[in-house]
Structure 1
Amino acid sequence: MKSQFRTVRVSSTARTAAVLTVLGLALAGTAVTGPGAGVGSASSHREAPLISGDPQTDNTDVYAFTSPDKPDTVTLIANWLPFQEPNGGPNFYPFADGAHYDINIDSRGTGRPDLTYRWTFRTEDQRGTDTFLYNTGVVNNLTDPTLKVRQYYTLQELRPDCDPVTLIERGVVAPSRTGAASMPDYGRLRDQATVQLPGGGQTVATQAADPFFLDLRVFDLLYGGNLKETGQNTLAGYNVNSVAIQLPKSRLALGGDATRNPVIGVWSSTEKQSMKLTPGGRQPEGPFVQVSRLGNPLVNEAVVPAGLKDAFNALPPSEDHNQPAVVAKVLDPEVPKLVEAIYGIKAPAAPRTDLQEIFLTGIAKATGGPYQVDLNSQLLNQDIDPGAFVPAEELRLNMSTPSTPVPDRLGVLNGDFQGFPNGRRLSDDVIDIALQVLEGATPGKLIAPLAAGDGVNAADRPFGTSFPYLAVPYAKAVNQAN
Structure 2
Amino acid sequence: MASSHREAPNLTKMSKVDSTDLYMFRSYEPGRAAFVTLIANFQPGQNPGDGPNYYTMDPDAIYEIHIDSDGDAKEDLTYQFKFTNTLRNGGKGITLNIGGKELPIALRQAGQITLADDPDLGEVEDYTLTQITGDRRSGTRASVANATGGATTFRKPFDNAGKKTLPDYPAYANQYIYNITVPGCATPGRVFVGQRAEAFAVNIGPTFDLINYVPIDGASFPGGITQSRDNDDLVGKKNVTSIALELPISCVTGTGNGVIGAWQTASLPQARLLNPKASYASMSQSGGAYTQVSRLSAPLVNELVIGLPQKDTFNAAKPTGDAALADYVTNPTFPAIVDLLFRAPINATLGTSFTNIAPSNLPRNDLVAAFLTGIKTLNQQKTVTASEMMRLNTAINPTPRDQQKTLGVAADDLAGYPNGRRPGDDAVDLTLRVAMGRLCYPVPINGVQTDLGLCKPADAPVGNAPLTDGAPISATEFQNVFPYLNSPLSNSPRTAAPHS
When the two chains are superposed, the root-mean-square deviation of aligned CA atoms in Å is 2.6
Q: Distance in 2 between matches of 1:363 and 1:328?
A: 15
Aligned to 1:65: 25
Aligned to 2:289: 287
2:434 to 425, 432, 437: 437
Q: Is the 8 A contact 1:233 1:460 kept in 2?
A: no
Q: Distance in 2 between matches of 1:125 and 1:213?
A: 36
- Secondary structure of the 2:289 match is strand
Q: Distance in 2 between matches of 1:302 and 1:289?
A: 24
Q: Which amino acid aligns with 1:359?
A: F
Matches within 5 A, 1:356-367: 356-364=368-376
Normalised by the size of structure 1, how large is the TM-score?
0.81
Q: Distance in 2 between matches of 1:458 and 1:359?
A: 22
Q: Distance in 1 between matches of 2:64 and 2:430?
A: 27
Query: Unpaired runs of 5+ in structure 1?
Result: 1-40, 365-373, 380-385
Which structure dedicates a bigger proportion of its chain to helix? Answer: 1
Q: Which amino acid aligns with 2:366?
A: D
- Secondary structure of the 1:308 match is helix
Q: Is the 8 A contact 1:348 1:440 kept in 2?
A: yes
4+ residue segments displaced more than 6 Å:
477-482
Alpha carbons of structure 1 residues 131 and 461: separation in structure 2 relative to 1, 3 Å:
farther
Q: Is the 8 A contact 2:201 2:426 kept in 1?
A: yes
Aligned to 1:411: 408
Aligned to 1:94: 56
Shift of 1:98: 3.1
Q: Is the 8 A contact 2:70 2:381 kept in 1?
A: yes
2:473 to 458, 474, 477: 458
Q: Which amino acid aligns with 2:211?
A: L
Q: Which amino acid aligns with 2:289?
A: P
Alpha carbons of structure 1 residues 460 and 140: separation in structure 2 relative to 1, 3 Å:
farther
- The answer to whether the aligner puts 1:222 opposite 2:199 as a matched pair is no
- Secondary structure of the 1:154 match is strand
Q: Which amino acid aligns with 1:241?
A: T
1:212 to 200, 219, 233: 200
Q: Is the 8 A contact 1:153 1:171 kept in 2?
A: yes
Matches within 5 A, 1:61-460: 61-68=21-28, 69=30, 70-126=32-88, 127-128=92-93, 129-160=103-134, 162-168=139-145, 169-198=152-181, 199=186, 200-216=188-204, 217-225=206-214, 226-228=223-225, 231=228, 232-236=231-235, 237-255=237-255, 261-273=257-269, 274-279=271-276, 280=278, 281-323=283-325, 330=332, 333-338=335-340, 339-344=342-347, 346-351=357-362, 352-364=364-376, 374-379=377-382, 386=383, 389-405=384-400, 406-441=403-438, 442=441, 443-444=443-444, 450-451=465-466, 453-458=468-473
2:12 to 30, 36, 52: 52
Shift of 1:347: 2.9
Shift of 1:326: 5.4
- Secondary structure of the 2:483 match is coil
| 1:17-60 Cα distance to aligned partner (Å, 9 max, x none) | xxxxxxxxxxxxxxxxxxxxxxxx43001111111111100000
Shift of 1:332: 8.6
Q: Which amino acid aligns with 2:192?
A: V
Shift of 1:309: 1.3
Q: Which amino acid aligns with 2:179?
A: Q
| 1:203-233 Cα distance to aligned partner (Å, 9 max, x none) | 0111000111112222344343443476321
- Secondary structure of the 1:206 match is strand
Aligned to 1:469: 484
Q: Is the 8 A contact 1:432 1:454 kept in 2?
A: yes
Normalised by the size of structure 2, how large is the TM-score?
0.79
Alpha carbons of structure 1 residues 391 and 478: separation in structure 2 relative to 1, 3 Å:
farther
Q: Which moved more, 1:158-167 or 1:399-408?
A: 158-167
- Secondary structure of the 1:111 match is coil
Q: Distance in 1 between matches of 2:317 and 2:260?
A: 19
Q: Is the 8 A contact 2:4 2:300 kept in 1?
A: yes
Shift of 1:424: 0.1
Shift of 1:108: 1.7
Q: Is the 8 A contact 1:223 1:229 kept in 2?
A: no
Aligned to 1:28: none
Q: Which moved more, 1:74-83 or 1:336-345?
A: 336-345
| 1:225-265 Cα distance to aligned partner (Å, 9 max, x none) | 4434763211131111111010100111023xxxx621001
Q: Distance in 2 between matches of 1:211 and 1:89?
A: 22
Query: Unpaired runs of 5+ in structure 2?
Result: 94-102, 146-151, 215-222, 348-353, 450-456
Matches within 5 A, 1:9-24: none
Shift of 1:89: 1.1
Aligned residues: 421
Alpha carbons of structure 1 residues 212 and 220: separation in structure 2 relative to 1, 3 Å:
same
Q: Which amino acid aligns with 2:3?
A: S
Q: Is the 8 A contact 2:406 2:475 kept in 1?
A: no
Instruction: From the CA coordinates, give the structure whose radius of gyration is larger.
Output: 2
Q: Which amino acid aligns with 1:464?
A: Q
Q: Is the 8 A contact 1:223 1:230 kept in 2?
A: no
Q: Distance in 1 between matches of 2:208 and 2:241?
A: 26
Alpha carbons of structure 1 residues 283 and 244: separation in structure 2 relative to 1, 3 Å:
same
